[in-house]
Amino acid sequence: MTFAIAFCGAALRLFFAAVFYLAAPSESHALTAAERAKAEAAFPGWVERQVWPAAKKAGVARATFDAAFAGVRIDWSLPELGPGGGVPEGQAEFQSPAAYFNEKRLADLAALGRPLLRQWSKTLAGIEKRYGVPAEIVVAIWGRESAYGRVAPGKLAIAALATESYVGRRKETFFPELIAALKILQRGDVQPRQMLSSWAGALGETQFLPSKFLQFAVDFDGDGRADIWNSTPDVLASIAHYLVQHGWTRGQGWGFEVKAPSAVACSLEGPEQGKPLSAWQKMGVAPLGSLPRYARADTKFHLLMPAGRLGPAFLVTSNFYDIKDYNNSDLYALFIGQLADRYIGGGAFAGGWSKVATGFKRSDVLAIQKRLVAMGHDVGKVDGLVGYKTRIAIGLWQRKQGMAETCYPDAAVFAGLR
């Protein structure tokens, strides 16, 4: 486990354990002791010959570089090290999105967040004035990323990023992040020993990668440093700044739950098929609660059905997709929206999640994606994950087969697209 966990309820601890288990499936045992010793012996030379020239070119001073690497060694506890390290992603179980919206997790996070909204109300009002992002959205992301700073990332960022850049499976992804982390130290936002991250280099309470930190972290408490490790105003403002830089529209929320009659095809979902609210209403799509104040007849909304016909339906604004820029998952963005609503009186989704087909793995989803692509469908990234393009493609394929459109893999879909 990569996070030092303190002051958390047992449920919350389990929640984060589950979430981070998905990100870090296992420690690597792919390298032998002899291979490790060899890698360790060559590490200082690699730092000098590979990292230093790139850091110098990026404007990092020698003194900053030396301080950053003082005492830094390869961290063999990290996942994804060595050839073939970690559990193959394809072996992950195909699961219902329902697990993502565990009632206890949401209720616990909402209960922890409400007093923080009050405590930081003045700061949050200032942030909303400057960036236009509502307080509850900002606080929900803070809660989701680090349990409001209660779950602090426990790795030294330089050690984690250097390890992954040197002996990791995705060196080309991590090396630029290592250089970006050195630039942060050069800027003086944080001291090397305080620059803590997840195993994958996600920094502080916002969980920004170093390259994102350089673009989006801001100083909101006025001490001249963007400190996402210790300053709550900086954490909150950095989240809002990230969203507004990704297109957040002032004055709009994320969306709301709807009833989508069966006559409305689930393949109409997604960011490319937006329509004015009035058009959706004409088709029979209706809010399950009261309509949000910002929703006017001409406001553009998108249908979202994260489990197709096997789960609840939503109309979402473009802001929903800006939350996805924080973490590219419909479920993540929906979790943020749901948590944000709960601070201000919202409850659980009205629509339930049906059971999904059991006994399938991510590699099975990958296989049906490949078949759909071969038939000319756009499934988005062929990655074994059921994103909106894959759902739409499944729906269109089902329609062609004369099957009921569910837009989600079920036993018949797995069988038919084998």
Residue numbers of the site for Ca ion (CB under 5 A)? 219, 221, 223, 225, 227, 231, 234
Q: Nearest distance from residue 231's CB to Ca ion, in Å?
A: 5
Q: Nearest distance from residue 217's CB to Ca ion, in Å?
A: 9
Nearer residue to Ca ion within complex by CB, 188 or 247: 188
Q: Nearest distance from residue 188's CB to Ca ion, in Å?
A: 11
Strands 275-276 and 196-197: unpaired
Nearer residue to Ca ion within complex by CB, 109 or 239: 239
- Nearest Cα neighbor of 395 from 370, 372, 367, 374 is 372
Q: Nearest distance from residue 162's CB to Ca ion, in Å?
A: 26
Nearer residue to Ca ion within complex by CB, 221 or 325: 221
State how far the Cα of 256 lies from the Cα of 381, in Å rounded to an integer.
Answer: 27
Nearer residue to Ca ion within complex by CB, 177 or 234: 234
Strands 286-287 and 313-316: unpaired
Name beta bridge partners: 168. 81
Nearer residue to Ca ion within complex by CB, 233 or 409: 233
Nearer residue to Ca ion within complex by CB, 224 or 402: 224
Name beta bridge partners: 256. 315
Q: Determine the Cα angle at 93 with ends 89 and 96, to 5°.
A: 125
Q: Nearest distance from residue 223's CB to Ca ion, in Å?
A: 4
Q: Nearest distance from residue 243's CB to Ca ion, in Å?
A: 19
Q: Which residues of 339-371 are buried (b: 16+ CB within 10 A; e: fewer)?
A: bbbbbeebeebebebeebbeebbbebbbbbbeb
State how far the Cα of 161 lies from the Cα of 211, in Å rounded to an integer.
Answer: 12
Nearer residue to Ca ion within complex by CB, 196 or 307: 196
Nearer residue to Ca ion within complex by CB, 106 or 217: 217
Handedness of CA 124, 125, 126, 128 (dihedral sign): positive
Nearer residue to Ca ion within complex by CB, 237 or 394: 237
User: Can you tell me whether residue 245 is helix, strand or coil?
Assistant: helix
State how far the Cα of 133 lies from the Cα of 342, in Å rounded to an integer.
Answer: 17
Q: Nearest distance from residue 220's CB to Ca ion, in Å?
A: 6
Location of structure tokens 């050195």: 182
Nearer residue to Ca ion within complex by CB, 204 or 308: 204
Q: Nearest distance from residue 221's CB to Ca ion, in Å?
A: 4
Name the residue number minimizing CB distance to Ca ion.
Answer: 219
Distance of CA 72 to CAs 67, 69, 79, 110, 163, Å? 10, 5, 18, 38, 9
Q: Nearest distance from residue 200's CB to Ca ion, in Å?
A: 25
Q: Which residues of 112-134 are buried (b: 16+ CB within 10 A; e: fewer)?
A: bbeebbeebeebbebbbeebbbb
Q: Is 167:21 a contact under the CB 8 Å cutoff?
A: no
- Nearest Cα neighbor of 24 from 101, 116, 90, 87 is 87
Q: Nearest distance from residue 185's CB to Ca ion, in Å?
A: 16
Distance of CA 190 to CAs 67, 172, 293, Å? 12, 25, 41
